[in-house]
Amino acid sequence: MSHEYRKNPEAVSRLSPEQYRVTQEAETEAPFDNAYWDNKEPGIYVDVVSGEPLFASVNKYDSGTGWPTFTRPIERKNVVEIPDESLGVVRTEVRSAHGDSHLGHVFDDGPVETGGLRYCMNSAALRFVRRDDLEREGYGEYRTILEHPDGEKKR
């Protein structure tokens, strides 16, 4: 199944002030005071603006930072990594490839056994789709990811 994901102006117009600030102005939400930092339900996380699939619950872990954190994206083609020196230090910003939403940052201090990456994301940039809702919302092809420990879509 092929989907065409893009920045949806209507979705942008419906963003809360916090979602807009994070996704469109590359700001960061408060730690431990956001929707998904401690969500443990099975499902996937999609871009709040474009709907493109970004991360899966099987790759989520508690990094202790207060933000939803993942070891890898569902499909690498849906994330773009850009050098970010905005705070005077070199970091790597993560944006959605099709929606161009600021999602957060990726660091190289994640669990070594899963590749060593820590994708530290903003809940405000994400929409969670529960496992039981995947088919109904058009993400049925991602259901198998939740059943496999590596959590990356296979082609």
Active site residues: 120
Q: How far is CA 54 from CA 81, 88, 104, in A?
A: 13, 28, 12
Distance (Å, rounded) from C-alpha 155 to C-alpha 74? 12
Residues 69, 119 contacting (CB under 8 angstroms)? yes
**DSSP annotation of 128:** E
Please tell me the number of Cα atoms within 13 Å of 14 on its side-chain side: 8
Judged on CB neighbours under 10 Å (0-12, 13-18, 19+), 32 is exposed
How many CB atoms sit inside 10 A of residue 39's CB?
17
Written as six digits, the tokens of 21 are 């600030």
Written as six digits, the tokens of 154 are 């296979």
